[in-house]
């Protein structure tokens, strides 16, 4: 069974640029959630995808967008990067979608630095 993988591991961008982060979900999981973890903080929910549809969103602006593909892998896109976007971005996969009670399994994260 393959765990959750994320790429790239680290990324450095400048303000105003755009970035795409990628996540491969654990085998058999159909739900992907994205979280932002700022330094010294707990993860903050960005959004969740279930069967290629966004089915929940946290308090993040529209410049944070995502996709889920038929194989349940996912992308997080951030446009017009700001300094405060510097954080560890975590992807988590689970089985069940909306209302599901299964635990989420997290990837190692992508460390984004915005200069």
Partner 1 sequence: AQSVAQPEDQVNVAEGNPLTVKCTYSVSGNPYLFWYVQYPNRGLQFLLKYITGDNLVKGSYGFEAEFNKSQTSFHLKKPSALVSDSALYFCAVRKNTGTASKLTFGTGTRLQVTL
Between 33 and 81, CB nearer to partner 1: 33
CA angle 75, 31, 9 (to 5 degrees): 40
User: Can you say how many angstroms the Cα of residue 82 is from the centroid of all Cα atoms in its chain?
Assistant: 17
Beta-strand pair 31-37/64-68: unpaired
First to last CA, the chain: 38
Question: Does residue 97 touch partner 1 according to CB under 8 A?
Answer: yes
Q: Phi, psi (5° rounding) for residue 90? A: -110, 135
> Is residue 84 classed as helix, strand or coil in its secondary structure?
helix
Question: Does residue 60 touch partner 1 according to CB under 8 A?
Answer: no
**Contact range with partner 1 by CB under 8 A, out of 13-21, 52-60, 61-69, 72-80:** 52-60
Candidate list 29, 109, 112, 114; residue touching partner 1; CB under 8 A: 109
Question: Does residue 36 touch partner 1 according to CB under 8 A?
Answer: no
Q: Which residues in this chain contact partner 1 in the complex, by CB under 8 A?
A: 4, 6, 31, 33, 35, 40-45, 47-48, 50, 55-58, 90, 92, 94, 96-109
């Amino acid at each position: 069974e393959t765990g959750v993988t994320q790429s790239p591991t680290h990324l450095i961008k400048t303000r105003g640029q755009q970035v795409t982060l990628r996540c491969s979900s654990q085998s058999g999981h159909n739900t992907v959630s994205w979280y932002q973890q700022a330094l010294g903080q707990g993860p903050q929910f960005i959004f969740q995808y279930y069967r290629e549809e966004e089915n929940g969103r946290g308090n993040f602006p529209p410049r944070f967008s995502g996709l889920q593909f038929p194989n349940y892998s996912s992308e997080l896109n951030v446009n017009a990067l700001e300094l405060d976007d510097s954080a560890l971005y975590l992807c988590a996969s689970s089985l069940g979608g909306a209302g599901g009670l299964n635990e989420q399994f997290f990837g190692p994260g992508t460390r984004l630095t915005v200069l």
